[in-house]
Amino acid sequence: MIFLATNALPGNVAETVLGRNATPELVAKLNHQLHLDEPVLTRYGNWLIGTVRGDLGESAVAVVQGNPESSVTSLIGIPLRNSVVLALISIVCLIPISLLLGTFAAVRAGRAGDYAVSYISLVIGALPEFVFGTLLIAIFFSGLGLFPPVSLIPPGTSPLADVGELVLPVLTLLGVSVAFCARQVRAGVLDTLSERYVTMARLSGISEVRVLWRYALRNALAPSVQTFAQALQYLFGGIIVVETLFAYPGIGQALVQAVTLRDVSSVLAVTFVLAGVYIAINVLADVIVVLAVPKLRTGLR
């Protein structure tokens, strides 16, 4: 489907790359070189066979520009790694923060603490990433001069080399996803808090901390796992805006570039990888839920 969608885009890579110098002859020649003159079905077949073999094809743009590293796999490898680093750091911060905030809000349901968490998260959650990111830049860079507003990672260096560069993108991503996750956790914990076994635990003299931890939060985990899976998917795929804002060389940027240049095989490769990640996260989340819920794990009697 993605294959068809990219092919349906007006213009093609040859025209884009050659720009104003394009003559019909040159375009035709390049098209032939890139096998773009073959029928769509044949190209799809070739791509499919290549993908199965682990070869995502060659980037048309790189070929045209005479880049020696023209295989898509090597071209998207580094942005992918950068994005994974960004997403993992975010999710590692996201889970404990949302669990804490969500549980806190649930325990204080209907009181000031709950309203504070709920309203603030609602407001932040309603802001688009670029607005929130720009706000953060305004505060931390322009105002306090703490962190750089762009994350230009020189080729060949790890994004972890300068952690300061990661702070603002991570904060932006967290701002949006914590708001969403904390509210979901709050709802889950609030549900379990009204369960009879929580009341029963209180009536059995079990301390409130333990009641919260082992009775309320423990049983609210299953729905929370799904929420975190959604957040992680968002962190992998939906960070294009954030990457663009901070000029972070991640996979989102790579995708935007590829689309602009009509670089079909790169677009395909990126979307293919993202789809794979989505599926993997969903499967993983389902496995974790089954492990977390004894009733599912042990089967119904």
Partner 1 sequence: MNDHSIGSEVLVLRGLSVCLSTGDPVVEDVDLTLHAGEILGVVGESGSGKTTTALSLLGYSTPGTFIAAGQLRIEGKALHMDESMRPMRGSIISYVPQDPAQALNPSLKVAAALKDVLGAHGTPRPGNNAAEDALRRVGFGQAKTVASRFPHQISGGQQQRVSIALALCREPAVVILDEPTTGLDVVTQAQILAELRRLRTEQGVAMVYVTHDLAAVSEVADRIAVMYAGRVVEEGPAEQVLRNPRHPYTRGLLASIPDHVRPRVLEPMPGIAVGVGERPSGCPFAPRCPQRTDDCVAEMPTLEPIGDTRRVRCIHHRKTPPVRTFSVETLPRPSEIGEQPLLMIGDLKAEHRSHREVTVAAEQISFDVNKGECVALVGESGSGKTTILRTIAGLHPIAGGRVLLDGHALPSLVNHRSREQRRRIQLIFQNPAAALNPRQTVAEAIARPAQVLRKLDRRSLPAEVARLLECVRLPVRLANRYPHELSGGERQRVAVARALAAQPDILLCDEITSALDVSVQAAVLQLLLDLRDDFGLGLLFITHDLGVVATIADTVLVLDRGSIVDRGPTRDVLRAPTSDYTRRLLAAAPTVSRTPSSANDPFPVSL
Contacting positions for partner 1 (CB under 8 A) = 195-197, 199-208, 210, 214-215, 218-219, 292-295, 298, 300-301
The sign of the torsion formed by the CA atoms of 169, 170, 171, 173 equals positive
Q: How far is the CB of 187 from partner 1 (least distance, A)?
A: 17
Q: In this complex, which beta carbon is closest to partner 1, that of residue 21 or of residue 204?
A: 204
146 is written with which tokens?
A: 């703490």
Q: Are 246 and 150 in contact (CB under 8 A)?
A: yes
Q: In this complex, which beta carbon is closest to partner 1, that of residue 211 or of residue 242?
A: 211
Q: How far is the CB of 268 from partner 1 (least distance, A)?
A: 41
Q: Distance between CA 51 and CA 229 in Å, rounded?
A: 26
Q: In this complex, which beta carbon is closest to partner 1, that of residue 206 or of residue 256?
A: 206
Q: Distance between CA 115 and CA 48 in Å, rounded?
A: 52
Q: How far is the CB of 195 from partner 1 (least distance, A)?
A: 7
Q: Report CA-CA distances (Å) from 19 to 8, 64, 261, 264.
A: 20, 12, 11, 17
Q: In this complex, which beta carbon is closest to partner 1, that of residue 24 or of residue 299?
A: 299
- Residue in 15, 43, 14 with CA at minimum distance from that of residue 30: 14
Q: In this complex, which beta carbon is closest to partner 1, that of residue 21 or of residue 298?
A: 298
Q: Distance between CA 141 and CA 133 in Å, rounded?
A: 11
Q: How far is the CB of 301 from partner 1 (least distance, A)?
A: 6
Q: How far is the CB of 86 from partner 1 (least distance, A)?
A: 33
